[in-house]
Structure formats: structure tokens, C-alpha cells
Structure 1
Amino acid sequence: MSSSPSEAEMTSRLEKGRALMADAQYAAALSCLMKAVNQCPCAPAAHGKEKSCNISQCTAAVQSSDPDALYNVASGPCRCGFSWPRCTRSVHIEALDTLADCLARTNHYVAAFSTALGIIRLDPASAAGYCRVAHVIRPLSKQYQPFNGALARCLAVILRDAKLPSAAKLRDVIKLFVKAGLHNTQKYRHGTDDLYNAVLHKMAHSLKMPESRRDPMKKFPREVVSMIFSYLDRTALSRCTRVSKAWSRYVVSDKMLWGDIRVERPRNPGRYFGSFLNKHHQYIKSLVIDDVSDFALSESKVKMIATGLLNLERLHIGFGMKQWFPPSASTPSWGEPGRHLTKLTQLSLVNINRMDSRFLLPALLRLAGDFLEQLDLICTSDEYMFVQPIPSRVPKLKQLRLICRETTAILHTNELIENTPNLEQLHLDGLMLNSDRIGQLAPEQTGDWGWPALQSITIGAKTALAGARISNVALRRVLPPLPSSMRKIEIAGVDSPLAYNVLFTVNTYDESTVLAPGGKESHTSPAFPNLEVFRCRSAIPASLLREVVAPAAQSGTLKILELTAEPGTGLRYDVPQPLDPAFAEVDNLAKDWAFAASPSVHTLGIHGFNWATHHLRFDGRPFVDFLGACFPNVETLKVYPGDYPETAALMLELVRRPGIKTIHQKTLRGVEWDEARRLAKLAGVQLHHTVNPFGDIGWPIMK
């Protein structure tokens, strides 16, 4: 909205008056500023030369116990009957403020004080008048000298009209006006905060007034405050509780803040751990401690967690190098099954060692075994916990991860299968798999033995068969046959006997029979029509691979396919018969692996795909023809042909190929890598140097 002509003229005179003040021409500036004030459309009238009634009435109001007294006085007429004008125009307020400043510079403090009070009467919800009152009075208390007659007279008049006994009380009056200003601007303001509000709060802070402490939480709804606090970690939240009692009540009582507790490496909290759990036990649903090395996770603290957090649903404990249970300790018996940890569905024990697992895991499973749905058990050393990793029955367990990081431990799978009947996802790594019972049962004797609901299995690269050099090891199954409901199969190791053991079932129960890939009906695999992900680093002949992949490719469910075309070197040592002729014939991938063709595949990975007739001069044609003929909608490629000099040309061709968005490789280096990255950037393709293509197997560890 454009300003009226009178307001425009006021602004012009105001700027002229400020310019005259800058040149120390105060007399001319006063005249100019008075004209600017009188030019306001509200047509203000002059109060007169007598200022005592204005000063006495306003100072008496701020000294009363009523916080609204000054606002009521400013809204009414003067004691002498004069009706003060009311105006909210910013230019009028600025003109009066500049006029009071000019009067104070010329040592007319009484007039300046009365003019500042006039600003308050003009708009008691504006901070300008309260700021000017403080600016006018403060120099009198700081710079007063008895031999300065002008200052002494002004001070005497103000003390008389304000009914103050001495100049020492002026500082108290300043605080009262600032306090009244904070109250009135907060309660009656009709606009947003401006520069005057900032100055007023700064004054309150310099005067060390308690009113200067502004609580931002009072300005926002409770839901907004909760969202702001949710971005802070637990250390910052603990500090917030010490800001004030109000903040402490907000933080402690907020269910959203304490539902998910995540700490990295806490130090020993001593007795505060118990009090912390007592405060938030009804809110905590997820507790994650990445490293308890400095936490001194004693048996008593685990007892607090198990018996105190009744609503706990997710528990993650990462162990360091320190052992917290003494070797002579017995299995803890705290807690009652059916009363404690009845809502715990996810449990992760990471870097746990032999002694910790021996006592902690059985105790937790005793309480939560009937409710647990996901278990991550990652060991650092010793094979004790993998001889019988699940010591009791866990009927609702759906996701199980067993990993040994430092040493290869032996895992007897008999008890594991018995105690996890409803398993849906399985991840094994760093283990020597062994099972006598499965190998001793004929197919007609197994019955319901196995995991009928299994949908996902992941075998890590460090997993192997116990006694892998026995010629009939493939017959001695370590895992039950995979059901037809499988959706994901990932085998990261190059050990072919293990891959055969997991994927295929021997038809005849005869340990003297030797696994012969080319033999007639020596082994079969159930159809997997719902398979979405198949990744296998071990080489499998085309005749057997067809049984695994073809049903899903034909049904259109297959999304991710990663194969190996190189000869099965692992199988060569275990099978005395000649290799399956299919190995030597897989040179034309588009023909020999045509059964894997599917428009639904969006991620394709091939290892060792250039050999036989192409091994003398690498050209990548088997893979390029396979990609073009069988997979029209592939967006992500994982290309690992081997370390050939001509691999760079293949990568550049794949980067230019329409529809490709991401490529993973590990062959290109130096100048060739830089050139491929430059071309990929121009083509909008993400090119990654991925040394371990199977580094993302399984599912993320709960954190």
C-alpha cells in the first residue's frame, strides 16, 4: 500500500532532521522534527510545557503491582485532562523517538523524558517508547556531576515528579519501565518483532533481569517442540533437561524422544543408569548401544534392561574387548518368562565373545524366546556359541543371522533347524557347516524336517562345508531342502560343493553314490517360481542352473540375477568324474543361458564370462550378445570378466548403451578409469569401482 502525501512529507522531514542532528545543528533539527510530528494524519495536539503530570502518572504506574497499570494509564487521558493521541504509524513513532533523542543531546532531559513517555502513550504495544525512556534516564545516573548545574536541575525535576528519594533509585525505575515494556509488547503487540524489540530485550539482558530469559518452547505448540528436540542426540537432550524445570518436564515426558535410544560408546554411568531407566522405562521401545567397552555392562545392568524396560521391542548391544561376565558365573536366572521382555521382537548381539554369549544369550532367550522375530548373532572368536547357537526353541523367529568374523567356527545345524521351525530369512557366514542327522535321514524319513516358510537364504564367502574334501560331502546335506517359496538366494563363496549342497537334493539315499553333474537324475532342485533375487559366485553348469532360474524368469518375478560362467574349479577336486560337458560348451551365453531371459530383470551381474573360443583375444561379445538378446530392461550391470587388457573398450561400450544407469566393475585403473568416468558423467551413468560385488548381501544389521 502506498503512503499518503502527509506520511511521505513526514518521512522527508524526519530524514532532514536526522541529517541536521548528524551535523550537530540541534536547534534546526528540533524545529524540523516538531513539524514532522505535527504533520501526522492523526493530528496530534501539544500537551503543553508542564510535564510533571505526565511523568508522575507514568512512573507511579510502573511502580504499582499491577503489570497492566502502565498500559491502562497510556490508554487513558492525562491527569490534567489532556487526551493523548493514539497512533500506530511507524513514521510517527520514529519521529517522536528522534525528537526525544535530539532533546537529550541538548541536555533537555525533562522534555526528552516526557516525550519518551509520549511515545508509550502513542502506542503502548510498541517497544520504542520503553527503549527511549531507558536511554534518557540512564545517562543521568551514570554521568551526573554536582557542579553541572543544568544536569542537576533536570535530575531534581525528574526526582521530584517521579517521587524518588535519590538518584540511586533511577536504575530501579529503568528496570521497571523495561519490565513493563516486555510485558506490554508481549501481551498487546499487533505486529511482528522489530529492531526496537531486540534493543529492549538486550537492555533487559544487560540489566540482568530475569524477564530477559525468553523460553522459545512457549512460542511453539507441543508437537513442534517435540519435532525440534527429535533432531538432538541423547547427550544434548540430557543437557536440555538442565536448562530449566520447564525444559526438563518437556524432555522427560515426551514419548517420541525416548522411544528410540541410540548411544555410540557410553562411559560408565554408575547409579545414573538405573535412574535413567526409571524415568523413561514406559517410553523406551528401542535401545541401541554400539559399544559397551566403557559402559561396564554388568549383570545388574542387563537385569535392569531385561526387567525394567517392559515395552522394549528392539535391543542392540555391541561388545568391545572387555568381558563382563566372569568365567565362573552361572547362567543368570533373573526375570520371569511371560512377564519380562514380552514385547522384544528384535535382538542384535554384535562382536560378542564366548563368555558373554554363554551366559547372556540363554538368559535373554529364556525371557524373550517366545516372542523374538529377528536375531543377529555376530561373534568375534571361539566356536562355542556356534556348536549350538540357539539353545532353546524360538517358535516365532523369522530372521536369523549367524556370523563369525575372526575365526571359522563349526556350526551343527541339527538343533538350529529344530529350534527355529518358522524361519523365513537366514544369513550364515564364517562358519563350517556340519550336520550328521540330515545326512543319516532318507528323503522319505524327513517328514516336516526343515524350514517350510523359508524365503531368503544368504551364504557368505567365508562359509564352507565341514570335511569339504570328502568325495561324498555333497550327499551329506547340512541344510534342509529349500522350499519352492524362496524369493532370494545369495551364495557369495566360490566353493562349488557348498552351492550344490544348498541348492540341490540327491534323489537316491546312498552315500556311496558320487555327485556327478552329468549323471542321470542324480540330483534335482525344486522349482522356484517366486524367486526375485539369485546371486551365486560358484559356477553351476547350465543343465542345473536351468532348474533354479528358468521358472522365475518365465513367470516374470526375477529382478536381480548374478551368475558365474567360469569353470567350477572347486568342483574339479571333489568329483572324480569328468566335468559336465555343459561347462566346456558355455561359450555363447545368449544361446546356452537363454532360459534366464526375462524382461523383468533390472540388475544383471556376470563373472568370468569370456573364455573358451574367446579367451585368446577378449572382446566381451558373449556378454554383450547375452545382454541384448535376453534382458531389454536392465538398468544396473555388475561386470567382472577378468583382468583382460581389452576390458576398457567393453566398459566404454556399456556406458554408451541406452537404458543403463549404473555399472559396477573392478578392472579399470589409471587413465582408463578416468576416461570411463568422464564418459559416464556425460552419459548420466553412475560408474563404481566395486572390488567386492557381494559386499551387500543379506540385510542391514539393526541399528
Structure 2
Amino acid sequence: MSGKSNSSLHLYSPDAALVRGRDAYASGRHKKAIEYFTSIINSCDCNRRDRPRMCRCKDFERVAQAGTSIFHEAMYNCRCNVSLKWDKCHDPYHIRALDYRAAVFEKEDLHLAKRDAEWLLQTAPRALEGYLRLGKIYRMEKKPKVALAIWNAGIEVGRKEGLGGSRKIKQLYEVRQPLRMHYVRVDPMTLPVELVEHIFSYFQLTDLCRVQGVCKRWDYFFDSRPCIWKHIEFPAGLKRAPPSSWTKTLANRMRGAAKSLVIPSPVQERLRETQWLQLADAAKQARRLELDFRHGPMPKLPSNRQFPSRLSSLKIIFSESRGPRYFDLFLDQEENDFLRGILERCNYNLESLWLGHARVPWLFQDLPPALPRLRYLRISRKQDASLISLPSLAAATPRLEQLYLDGPCSIECTLDETPSCPGAWSDLRVVIAECEVSSWFDLGWASNSPMNPEKIRVLESRSGMLGFRDGLGMTVGALSSVGQFLRKSMDSLERYWLEAATPDFLSQERLQDPLVTGKLYELGLAFPDTDRDDTMWGEDPLPAQAFLQRLPWLYGGPGVRMLGLFDFNLDSGLTIPDSLQPPGEDRPKVEKDQAAVLVAFIESFPRLETLVLGSKFCEAREVAALTEAVVNRGKIKKIYLRGVTGQLFLDIRELAAMKGAEVMVWQRKIPWPYPLKPHPDGL
């Protein structure tokens, strides 16, 4: 290059030279771009006294492979005394010019690009440009591990220098990410032991069995840490029996420290007697036990020394098998011995009890085992199960908070044959039944009832009752046997949900107060059967919608946010009264359209947000038509449908979406224990 050309380059300011150099690089004039960037480097104050020299003794590749500090190598290590003559430079134009020239050399000569990148790093070790450029060059040289180490060093320097939000450190993170995902596989065993134990405590049993075989070191770790094996829950999809050696190893690693043991039916029927005893012995300190014998044999009950005695939660599902009567008698005795043996060992600690398909004749009768701390009780009974005495049950469970009866069930309620225990269940808040019950709710309002209706918050039923409608009002025969019927208001009731049982005219005494005060915010109603004569509603069959006229106090609950309507009948052949008198109107209102009657009832609730519709007496198109009428009003934003499927459901869902509402399938599963939520209005 001629002297005239060099002198002309020095006439430009560093800023202008940078711009011209970048323009030359963009247009492919690499030689001209190098001249501009070199002029900026030579004109820096750190190079005025002599031509700058680069330290040749630094070896960043060796330092990166050794895992030592790249910053220390750039900042301090120098055996050729170059650093004694030239100090570090922090001129941004000098740094950017070296970076841009190295970028140009990447297109021409990778060796020269690497030299400029190393020079940039040793000239300004606290700037991130050198780490970015040098790492990129090593990446181009197919040395990804060295590039990763240099980029890591740049990120560490950026953090220490307070550059956490800068554009350059973000670029470092972005270019490092692919290599980090590929190469950085830190053995979790290098973390603190307490942290490793906490991480693996969240693993499922199948996952723990897989990871313990990674290597001998991991196997030793899992063998020496019983706290990892705290929750033993076998997968329900187990296709073959686990070998005895595996069960023995698992039991040894648990060392009696397991807090929960869950054995589903497919696993239970494949376990041998010795394997069951090993697991029961290893779970001596368990607080939760779930066993499912519905398809498998009943195992032998371990000795007192081997079986958990500190259980707070117990769930047992008994066998569903049916056979000759003599075989059922054998199963009765087998279940009797097994369940009684368990309850006698853990009855004072038990807080939750779930018995499925129980047919034990002594269950909570005669001299039941005392369960002084039991809070949640769920029982499903077999068709021919013996009666349960509700007062005896209350005497054994004085602190019961939630009661759930599932399956065919009948509760003995002959008052002259049961002990008197008025108000024994002072803490009872939830009562749920999914069964046909003869008269067990009657005791809730009898003079010696263990229930306290004023404190019940949730009352739910999914099946019809025998002898009365909602199980809350007695029939005439029941009234005469009790003597005096006590009408008690349910002041704390928040959820009253009947999907198959119908409320009667006596329900007003119990429901009107929570309905008027706004305490009741979830209301589900089943309409009466129009094809059946019922002395409660008169001699002639009564149309489904007309029963609302008999119960006008149901209209317009100020606190109701969720409403369910079940088993209504929209058959046009039914006779609907010309005058239907909703509350608040002085003169009769003519309503011929049965769907309009229901819509008017739904519209009477000012704060309604969610609606549930389903009827076994209506075709799907009729329920869809009712849904369309509700959606067109534009008030309710969430609707659940039962019995509407296929293209009809898709069409009504699309229509609702256009109106700003959401339509979904009603598939409610009641969680257990039932989650009691704070009242939405804080009542």
C-alpha cells in the first residue's frame, strides 16, 4: 500500500473508519476493510510509542482443555515480558476494530483470524468480544469442547463485571446453548447428598428401578439411602410378577423407612405370600397403605412386629368375586379376620379409611374398633351386605368430618334398637352418597341423630333413595315411628347436589335459609318421575316442570353460582298448567313452552355462572335445544352437558363459542377426601 493511501486512511475518525470498514466488508472488498480496521488499531493511544506486539507465550487451548482460568491466562500469565511494555487497552474503537478484522480474516485466513482473536482477548480480557470471537474460531476448527470452555469463561467474566443484561452476554448464552446441551452432562451424584436425595424422592418406583442400574456408584448410592424409597407405589399396568429377588432387594433398601405402600390389583394377584410379607415388613413405619384384592387372593396378615401400626390412611378394596354361598361365607370370615386385624393395630392413628366392596358383617356393629381420630370414611357395600348401624358408627368415629357411601348400601335405622347418640358427629361437614339408601338420612333429623344438620356444608347424592325423595324428609310411616319430626335448618350448607333424588316440599325448612342468605352457591336438582304415582305429589302423574310451582322458594337464590338440572322432561305431550306463578309476580304468567319454564327458572338466579344439564327422559336434541335457548340469553358462560354427543354436541359447542360461552361434557368425578373450599363471598 502506498504512503498516500495510508495517509488518507488516517484522515478519518475511528468512528468513520469503522463505518467505512464495515461497508467494505459487506460489499466483499475484504482487503480494503482490513486496511480501515488496521488504521484504527495503529492509531490507538496504547500504540503511539512503538508498534504493538502480541504475546506469543499464551496458550488458551491448553488452558481450556485443562479446565483452569482462561481469564487468568489472558490477564496475568506472560513469560515473554510483552505485558510489561504494553498495558491492557479498554478503548472501544480498538476492541471493535480487532474484532471486525478477525471477522474479515475468517473469510480469508483462519490462522490470522485466530491470532487477532487471541490478541483481542489478551488486550481486553474484561470485554466479551474476545471470548465470542475466539470461541467461534475454535468452533470452526471443529474443537467444540475448547469453544464451550471459552464461552463459559466469557459468561463468568460478564457476570463479575456486571454485564448480565448486555447484548454480548446474551449472544454468549445463545451460541453456547447447543454445545451445553450436547456436552454438559453433570453427574447428579456430584451435587450435595441432601439435594440428590430430595430430587430422587419425587421419582416413581419404575423410574427408580431404572436409574439405579446406571453404574455401580449409583447402585451403591440407592442401596445406602433408604429415604429415597419412601413412597412405594406399584404401577397398575404391571404385566408380570416381579421376581422374588427383586422384591427382597426392594425390601432391603426400604429398611422399614417407607411412608406409603400402594399395591394395585394387577400387582397384588401376582405377588407371592413371601413377597407380600417382605413388603409389609419393610413398610413398618408407613403412614399410608392401599391394597386392592378385587381380582386377587387375600394374603396372610403379618404379625404385629411386621405390619404397619402408624397408619393414618388406609384403603382396602375387597374381592368382587361371586360364587356359591358356602364360598361367600368363607370370604366373609377371611375379610373379617384381615380387616379386624389391621384396624386393631392402627385404629388410634387412623385418619382416613376407604373400604371397597366390603361385606364384613361386624363392620361398625356390636363392638367396633374405636377410631378416635378418623376424619374421612368411605364405604362401598355389596348387594347382600349386612346393615350398618349409624349410631354405632358415630360412637366409633366421634371426629368424623366426611362420610361417603358408594355402591349398594343399606343403613339400619330402627331407633329402638340402636343406642342414642344425639350430635355425636359434631365435626361432620360432608355427606356424599352414590347408592340406594333406605332411610339412613332420616337419622339426620331424628331426635337421637348423630348428625348435626346446622354444620353440614356439602350434601350430595348420585342415586335415588327408597321410601323418600332426597333422603332429608321422612315418609309418613317413618314419621310415625319416630314420634316427632324435628325440622332443622342447614344454615352452613354450601353445596346441595342431587342428580337422581328429588327434593320434597319438606326441604324448604332446611334449605330456604342458606338459599336466601347466599350461603348456598352450588345447587343440583333432579325432577320427579312423570310416569310414577307418588303420594307425596298427588294421585295423578305430575309433569316434571310443574313441580317448580309447588316449590316457588327455589327461585332466585342470590348466592347460587352453579346450577344442575337433571331428569327433566320436555315431552310436548305432557300437560303444562297455563298459570305458573314464579315468586315476585302478582298475577299468573301463561307459559305453554316447557323449555321456557326451565329457562325462566335458570334466569331467576342473578349470579349464576355454571350450568349442568342432563336428563334420561329427554332426547339429546331436546337437551341441545334447551342449551341453545340458554346460550342465546348470553348470561351463562360455562355449560356442562350429559347425554349429548357426536355431531350434535359439536354443533352446540360451536354455537356457544360464537356467543362467548363454553360447552363441555359433564364427567364429574368426586375427589376424596372432598376438597372444602372457602366460600366465594367469604361467608
- Is this a same-fold pair by TM over 0.5? yes
- Kindly indicate whether the alpha-carbon contact (under 8 Å) linking 2:608 and 2:636 is maintained by their aligned counterparts in 1: yes
Counterpart pick for 2:523 among 543, 555, 561: 561
| Cα deviation, residue 417, structure 1 | 4.6
C-alpha separation in 1, matches of 2:269 and 2:51: 74
C-alpha separation in 2, matches of 1:204 and 1:698: 43
1:513-550 per-position Cα deviation (integer Å, ceiling 9, x unaligned): 94589x99785554433222223355657443334433
| Residues 648, 250 of structure 1: alpha-carbon distance in 2 compared, 3 angstrom cutoff | same
C-alpha separation in 2, matches of 1:205 and 1:664: 45
| Cα deviation, residue 593, structure 1 | 0.5
Counterpart pick for 1:429 among 395, 406, 409: 406
C-alpha separation in 2, matches of 1:358 and 1:123: 83
* Structure 2 portions without partners, runs of 5+: 1-11, 322-330, 579-591, 676-683
Match of 1:149 in 2: none
Counterpart pick for 2:343 among 356, 365, 370: 365
Q: Larger RCO: Structure 1 or Structure 2 (Cα < 8 Å, ≥ 6 residues apart)? A: 1
3-state DSSP of counterpart to 1:431: coil
Asked if residue 459 in structure 1 is aligned to residue 416 in structure 2, the reply is no
Counterpart pick for 1:656 among 619, 624, 632: 632
| Residues 63, 569 of structure 1: alpha-carbon distance in 2 compared, 3 angstrom cutoff | closer
C-alpha separation in 1, matches of 2:593 and 2:71: 93
C-alpha separation in 1, matches of 2:110 and 2:426: 97
Counterpart pick for 1:601 among 560, 575, 581: 560
Q: Give the number of aligned pairs.
A: 607
| Cα deviation, residue 63, structure 1 | 12
3-state DSSP of counterpart to 1:400: strand
1:351-389 per-position Cα deviation (integer Å, ceiling 9, x unaligned): 76687966664454344321222222234xxx5447637
3-state DSSP of counterpart to 1:614: coil
| Cα deviation, residue 410, structure 1 | 1.0
Max Rg structure: 1
| Cα deviation, residue 398, structure 1 | 1.6
1:389-413 per-position Cα deviation (integer Å, ceiling 9, x unaligned): 7963212112111125xx6341431
Match of 2:472 in 1: 503
* Structure 1 portions without partners, runs of 5+: 140-170, 207-211, 507-512, 573-577
C-alpha separation in 1, matches of 2:180 and 2:655: 63
C-alpha separation in 1, matches of 2:282 and 2:191: 33
C-alpha separation in 1, matches of 2:213 and 2:529: 67
Q: Which moved more, 1:584-593 or 1:233-242?
A: 233-242
| Cα deviation, residue 247, structure 1 | 9.8
Write out aligned runs for 1:152-301 (5 A).
Answer: 181=150, 185=154, 188-189=157-158, 190=161, 191=163, 193=169, 213=184, 215=186, 264-265=235-236, 268=242, 269-278=246-255, 281=257, 293=267
- Kindly indicate whether the alpha-carbon contact (under 8 Å) linking 2:262 and 2:290 is maintained by their aligned counterparts in 1: yes
| Residues 43, 668 of structure 1: alpha-carbon distance in 2 compared, 3 angstrom cutoff | same
C-alpha separation in 2, matches of 1:649 and 1:129: 69
User: Structure 2: which amino acid aligns with 1:536?
Assistant: L
Asked if residue 494 in structure 1 is aligned to residue 458 in structure 2, the reply is no
Counterpart pick for 1:581 among 538, 561, 567: 538
What fraction of aligned residue pairs are identical, expressed as a percent? Answer: 20
C-alpha separation in 2, matches of 1:632 and 1:46: 88
- Kindly indicate whether the alpha-carbon contact (under 8 Å) linking 1:131 and 1:196 is maintained by their aligned counterparts in 2: no
| Residues 131, 622 of structure 1: alpha-carbon distance in 2 compared, 3 angstrom cutoff | closer
Match of 2:496 in 1: 534
C-alpha separation in 2, matches of 1:65 and 1:698: 58
C-alpha separation in 1, matches of 2:228 and 2:82: 59
Counterpart pick for 1:441 among 416, 423, 429: 416
- Kindly indicate whether the alpha-carbon contact (under 8 Å) linking 1:497 and 1:570 is maintained by their aligned counterparts in 2: no
C-alpha separation in 1, matches of 2:343 and 2:599: 52
C-alpha separation in 2, matches of 1:236 and 1:624: 53
1:594-633 per-position Cα deviation (integer Å, ceiling 9, x unaligned): 233432233333445558632997523543454455x433
| Residues 647, 128 of structure 1: alpha-carbon distance in 2 compared, 3 angstrom cutoff | closer
| Cα deviation, residue 487, structure 1 | 2.5
Match of 1:419 in 2: 396
User: Structure 1: which amino acid aligns with 2:610?
Assistant: T
| Cα deviation, residue 181, structure 1 | 4.9
- Kindly indicate whether the alpha-carbon contact (under 8 Å) linking 1:558 and 1:601 is maintained by their aligned counterparts in 2: yes
| Residues 409, 197 of structure 1: alpha-carbon distance in 2 compared, 3 angstrom cutoff | same
- Kindly indicate whether the alpha-carbon contact (under 8 Å) linking 2:151 and 2:172 is maintained by their aligned counterparts in 1: no
User: Structure 1: which amino acid aligns with 2:551?
Assistant: W
- Kindly indicate whether the alpha-carbon contact (under 8 Å) linking 1:533 and 1:558 is maintained by their aligned counterparts in 2: yes
Match of 2:585 in 1: none
1:66-95 per-position Cα deviation (integer Å, ceiling 9, x unaligned): 945983574377426752342457875565
3-state DSSP of counterpart to 2:316: strand
- Kindly indicate whether the alpha-carbon contact (under 8 Å) linking 1:488 and 1:532 is maintained by their aligned counterparts in 2: yes
User: Structure 2: which amino acid aligns with 1:121?
Assistant: Q
- Kindly indicate whether the alpha-carbon contact (under 8 Å) linking 2:64 and 2:150 is maintained by their aligned counterparts in 1: no
TM-score normalised to the size of structure 1?
Answer: 0.65
Match of 1:403 in 2: 380
| Residues 32, 324 of structure 1: alpha-carbon distance in 2 compared, 3 angstrom cutoff | farther
Asked if residue 84 in structure 1 is aligned to residue 107 in structure 2, the reply is no
- Kindly indicate whether the alpha-carbon contact (under 8 Å) linking 2:233 and 2:261 is maintained by their aligned counterparts in 1: yes
User: Structure 2: which amino acid aligns with 1:483?
Assistant: N
| Cα deviation, residue 556, structure 1 | 4.0
- Kindly indicate whether the alpha-carbon contact (under 8 Å) linking 1:333 and 1:363 is maintained by their aligned counterparts in 2: no
1:634-670 per-position Cα deviation (integer Å, ceiling 9, x unaligned): 3333345632786655433322335323334446677
Asked if residue 37 in structure 1 is aligned to residue 41 in structure 2, the reply is yes
Match of 2:312 in 1: 345
Counterpart pick for 2:302 among 332, 351, 361: 332
- Kindly indicate whether the alpha-carbon contact (under 8 Å) linking 1:458 and 1:697 is maintained by their aligned counterparts in 2: no
| Cα deviation, residue 263, structure 1 | 6.0
C-alpha separation in 2, matches of 1:376 and 1:520: 31
Asked if residue 9 in structure 1 is aligned to residue 10 in structure 2, the reply is no
Match of 1:509 in 2: none
TM-score normalised to the size of structure 2?
Answer: 0.67
3-state DSSP of counterpart to 1:663: strand
- Kindly indicate whether the alpha-carbon contact (under 8 Å) linking 2:105 and 2:113 is maintained by their aligned counterparts in 1: yes
| Residues 286, 124 of structure 1: alpha-carbon distance in 2 compared, 3 angstrom cutoff | farther
- Kindly indicate whether the alpha-carbon contact (under 8 Å) linking 2:458 and 2:495 is maintained by their aligned counterparts in 1: yes
- Kindly indicate whether the alpha-carbon contact (under 8 Å) linking 1:620 and 1:647 is maintained by their aligned counterparts in 2: no
